[in-house]
């Protein structure tokens, strides 16, 4: 490698702070002091130095037959020297994990319960510690004992609700089915009578009904910013939140607030959108997920879904049809965000790798009210004119 890169151990190269020699020493450390402390105080299940053979050869050495370890690539900052080696040797990423430790000198397997405390202890002892994966059951049919998988980004949500919470429930269902890489950190309802999610089967039981007594909109929003920040919220989801957000709140989460509206925006913004559309006599309506801005339902549009309006509908029937689509497109929009696929360019939201599903435009839904009933004879079908 040195020959190929024309470098010696005393040399410096782009991307490294020290000479190559010193950088090569960084992945190796003596952990005795920290380990003695942990072994005395915690239930340590396994310890393994990651040496030559990287993760794939070393980790299985301490695993029981029935277990496998899933290491999440991207869950720790890889030391720069490995990036230099990878580029210089033109080495595939997986090969790097198969050969090198990538900066993880020692792996400790602990119980999920003790994990946070152990992490804190390691930091207090002056060590750098990362949660890099999990041990779970191994499929006996497969020989796979360890794998290094790209880390899934789990986006931390703060959800705002005022109504019945069916969109919230749909988001929870998608998370629990593993279809949405998100976790709900905080739910705020400004409707003290309704506490969505309560009584429903969910792990995400962090409910904070909006407390009355905030004098101004800014007071209320300041409190929301505070609790969202404390909970580590990255993306705010307005799921039927019937309150206008102040500039204070919008600026605290720029292009990080999504809203769902039960109409095809920019038509029928504001309250009772389904009824507005129904009364107007549209042939199609639908719903829109968009980023919130300072206007009412005016921000850049992420996803829209269209539903037909039939002659025999009522506005309630239409609202139910739209709601069904809301439950589909909101989790989709959040997943696109979690995957880092949304780019806001001016008013437009571009979706990376978007596959067009249906290039055909929609035309009027069939009409059942105005139908010609002329028949040539009693047995004929009604005329199709």
The residues of the shown chain that bind ligand GAR, judged by CB under 6 A, are 161, 163-167, 239-240, 260-262, 273, 297, 323, 326
Which CB sits closer to ligand GAR, 104 or 224?
Answer: 224
Q: Rounded to the nearest whole angstrom, what is the least distance from the CB of residue 293 to ligand GAR in the complex?
A: 14
In angstroms, give the least distance from the CB of 279 to ligand GAR.
16
The reply to whether 261 belongs to the active site is yes
Q: Which of 174, 261, 290, 327 is catalytic?
A: 261
Comparison of 136 and 176: residue with beta carbon closer to ligand GAR: 176
The residue among 60 and 165 lying less far from ligand GAR, judged by its C-beta, is 165
- Which CB, 245 or 323, lies closer to ligand GAR? 323
Whole-angstrom distance, CA of residue 57 vs CA of residue 128 = 23
CB of 168 to ligand GAR, least distance (A): 6
Residue by residue, DSSP assigns 25-61 as HTT----HHHHHHHHHHS---EEEE--TTHHHHHGGG
Query: Helices in 90-136 by DSSP H: which ranges?
Result: 93-99, 115-124
Give the CA distances from residue 22 to residues 25, 91, 96, in Å, rounded to whole numbers and listed in that order.
Answer: 5, 22, 20
Q: Which is nearer to ligand GAR, 60 or 299 (CB)?
A: 299
Residue 148: CB minimum distance to ligand GAR, A: 39
- Could you give the 3-state DSSP secondary structure of residue 125? coil
CA 77 to mean position of chain CA atoms: 21
Asked if 271 and 297 touch (Cβ cutoff 8 Å), the reply is: no
Distance (Å, rounded) from C-alpha 204 to C-alpha 39?
33
The least CB distance from residue 288 to ligand GAR, in Å, is 9
Task: Please give the backbone phi and psi of residue 199, each rounded to the nearest 5 degrees, phi first.
Answer: 85, -15
Residue nearest to ligand GAR (CB): 240
Beta carbon nearer to ligand GAR, 133 or 331: 331
What secondary structure does DSSP assign to 325-360, as a single string?
Answer: HHHHHHHHHHHHHHTT-EEEETTEEEETTPPP---S
Contact 151, 75 (CB under 8 A): yes
Task: Determine how β-strand 182-189 pairs with β-strand 155-161.
Answer: parallel
Give the nearest distance from C-beta 170 to ligand GAR in angstroms: 8
Catalytic center residues = 261
């Amino acid at each position: 490698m040195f020959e190929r890169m024309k470098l010696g151990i005393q040399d410096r190269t782009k991307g490294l702070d020290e000479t190559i020699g010193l950088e090569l020493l960084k992945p190796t450390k003596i952990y005795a002091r920290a380990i003695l402390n942990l072994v005395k105080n915690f239930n340590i299940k396994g310890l393994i130095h990651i040496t030559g053979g990287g993760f794939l050869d070393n980790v299985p050495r301490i695993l029981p037959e029935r277990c496998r370890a899933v290491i999440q690539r991207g869950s720790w900052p890889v030391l720069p020297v490995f990036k230099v080696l990878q580029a210089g040797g033109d080495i595939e990423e997986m090969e790097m994990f198969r050969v090198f430790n990538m900066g993880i000198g020692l792996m400790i397997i602990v119980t999920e319960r003790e994990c946070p405390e152990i992490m804190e202890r390691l930091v207090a002892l002056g060590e750098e510690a990362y949660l890099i994966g999990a041990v779970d059951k191994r499929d006996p049919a497969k020989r796979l004992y360890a794998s290094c998988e790209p880390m899934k980004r789990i986006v931390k949500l703060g959800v705002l609700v005022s109504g019945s919470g069916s969109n919230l429930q749909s988001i929870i269902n998608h998370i629990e089915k593993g279809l949405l890489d998100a976790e709900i950190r905080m739910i705020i309802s400004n409707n003290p009578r309704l506490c969505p999610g309560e009584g429903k089967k969910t792990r995400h039981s962090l409910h904070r009904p909006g407390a009355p007594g905030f004098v101004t909109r800014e007071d209320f929003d300041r409190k929301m910013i505070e609790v969202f920040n404390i909970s580590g919220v990255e993306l705010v989801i307005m799921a039927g939140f019937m309150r206008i957000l102040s500039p204070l709140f919008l600026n605290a989460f720029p292009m990080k607030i999504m809203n769902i509206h039960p109409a095809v925006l920019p038509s029928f913004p504001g309250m009772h959108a389904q009824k507005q559309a129904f009364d107007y006599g549209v042939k199609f309506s639908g719903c829109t997920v968009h980023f919130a801005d300072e206007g009412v339902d005016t921000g850049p549009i992420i996803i829209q879904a269209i539903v037909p309006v039939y002659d025999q509908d009522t506005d309630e029937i239409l609202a139910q049809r739209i709601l069904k689509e809301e439950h589909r497109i909101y989790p989709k929009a959040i997943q696109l965000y979690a995957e880092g696929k949304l780019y806001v360019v001016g008013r437009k939201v571009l979706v990376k790798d978007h596959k067009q599903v249906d290039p055909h435009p929609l035309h009027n839904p069939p009409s059942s009210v105005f139908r010609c009933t002329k028949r040539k004879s009693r047995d004929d079908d009604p005329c199709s004119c």
